[in-house]
């Protein structure tokens, strides 16, 4: 059962553009939603995370938008740069209980110079 669905699988954006990646979840008990960035040969690194009591969180060029009623959340990367080219994973988890992250399938983002 795929509990977190991520789209698109791949995305190409021009330098300076906005990259948008979407995720949908099924389990309403999830209460922690992080985004991870992964470069080839490296482990995932936490980019930004949100809890369902807020609808938006911004850190620098990265913004999470959260829609609790639709069970969807998205990552926006403003002014996308070639160095942002990586695979991005959304995830969902619980703040209590085991620290089990449920990941989406990933989006390979390419920023063209």
Partner 1 sequence: DAGVTQSPTHLIKTRGQHVTLRCSPISGHKSVSWYQQVLGQGPQFIFQYYEKEERGRGNFPDRFSARQFPNYSSELNVNALLLGDSALYLCASSLVATGDTQYFGPGTRLTVL
Q: Does 96 bind partner 1 (CB under 8 A)?
A: yes
Residues 6+ apart with CB under 8 A from 2: 105
CA 88 to CA 34: how far, in whole Å?
A: 11
Interaction of residue 104 with partner 1, rule CB under 8 A: yes
Q: Which of 36, 73, 69, 26 is nearest to 51 (CA)?
A: 73
Site for partner 1 in 28-67 (CB under 8 A): 32, 34, 36, 41-46, 49
Nearest residue (CB) to partner 1, 62 versus 94:
94
Count of residues near partner 1 by CB under 8 A: 27
Q: Does 97 bind partner 1 (CB under 8 A)?
A: yes
Structure tokens of 92? 């969902």
Residues 60-89 that bind partner 1 (CB under 8 A): 89
The answer to whether residue 100 forms part of the interface with partner 1 (CB under 8 A) is: yes
21 binds partner 1 (CB under 8 A): no
Q: Which is nearer to partner 1, 20 or 49 (CB)?
A: 49
- Torsion over CA: 48, 46, 37, 99 (sign): negative
Q: Which is nearer to partner 1, 5 or 76 (CB)?
A: 5
Give dist(CA 88, CA 20) in Å, integer.
11
């Amino acid at each position: 059962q795929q509990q977190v669905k991520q789209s698109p699988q791949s995305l190409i954006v021009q330098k300076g553009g906005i990259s948008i990646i979407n995720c949908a979840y099924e389990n309403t008990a999830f209460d922690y939603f992080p985004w991870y960035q992964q470069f080839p040969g490296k482990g995932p690194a936490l980019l930004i995370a949100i809890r369902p009591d807020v609808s938006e969180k911004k850190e620098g060029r990265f913004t999470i938008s959260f829609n609790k009623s639709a069970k969807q959340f998205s990552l926006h990367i403003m002014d996308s740069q070639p160095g942002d080219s990586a695979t991005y994973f959304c995830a969902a988890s619980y703040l209590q209980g085991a620290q089990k992250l449920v990941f989406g399938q990933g989006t390979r983002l390419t920023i063209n110079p």
